[in-house]
Amino acid sequence: MVRLNGGLSVISAFYNGIGSAVALDLPMTVEVTGSSSPHDEKKHDAAYGILRFYRKSLGIDRSFGIRVESEIPQGYGLKSSSALAFGILEALSHEAGVEMDPYEKCALAARASIDAGISRTGSYDDILASCFGGVSLADNARFTEIFHSDVRTVDIVLAYRDGKARYSSRVDIEPGSVEDEIVERMMKMVKEGDFISAAAMNGRIMECFYPADRDICDAFAASGSYAWGQSGKGPAVFGAFSDGSSMESCIEALSLIRGVNVIKTVTSNVGSKVIS
């Protein structure tokens, strides 16, 4: 069984292939079992599609079952798909006794994400954050890490409405829609440790393509959050806080908005771990 985390979008890779993500304490556990029911691997869901891709890529001629437990909201820009893709590979490697370099695993997981139709870019940056924790910066077109660093602990509040999932595979943003100079500015922020400001800036840019819920954004703006915005294509919105009282006031305000789910979490330097 493998435990790993979701994350927050810092730079969306849709612009020019350069992406960045930071891990959050949003756990997922994935177990690949050595036995399965006869119909399991005939399933058409994403998890078994990813598993079939790995079995073919690694030449594994055995059937497996999958069990997933997750606290990451699916389809809300919080890296559930990337955690799933990498978690299945990590768990399969452990179960089948396959040894791979971590970066090779991340690249294979990105290819599996494209093959399964859960990501347009492969989300290599998100997968790196799930694998290693901290903040990642990557060239998704080349499956190359540009920068990685542990991060300070930042209190984060996430808010989203049920029934408004927005999947990355369906995002329609043409490459070049955002100028390279803007992406380079956000990259500089990440390298200098200001990943939260980069994430907020990225969220504002993405709102031009996929608007966020204004009442949720207004609650963050009024509460004392020092940086807030949509997590990439969203629709989840995040707010960062430097003091507990402002954070609790924000959570209270968000709880009064009809249909809004609220999660309190922190940034994380914990990467993927085999726990059993």
pLDDT tens-digit series, residues 85-109: 999 999 999 999 999 999 999 999 9
CA pair distance 274, 4, nearest whole angstrom: 9
Reported as a single tens digit per residue, the pLDDT across 6-36 is 999 999 999 999 999 999 999 999 999 986 6
Instruction: For the chain, list the domains and their CATH numbers.
Output: 1-276 (3.30.230.120)
Mean pLDDT over 138-149 rounds to 97
pLDDT of residue 259: 94
Reported as a single tens digit per residue, the pLDDT across 198-239 is 999 999 999 999 999 999 999 999 999 999 999 999 899 999
120: CB partners within 8 A, 6+ apart: 14, 114, 168, 169, 171
Residue ranges with strand state E in the chain? 2-11, 18-33, 65-70, 135-139, 144-149, 155-161, 227-230, 237-241, 260-266, 273-274
Mean pLDDT over 27-50 rounds to 78
149 has a pLDDT exceeding 70: yes
pLDDT of residue 45: 84
Burial 14-23 (b: 16+ CB within 10 A, else e): bbbbbbbbbb
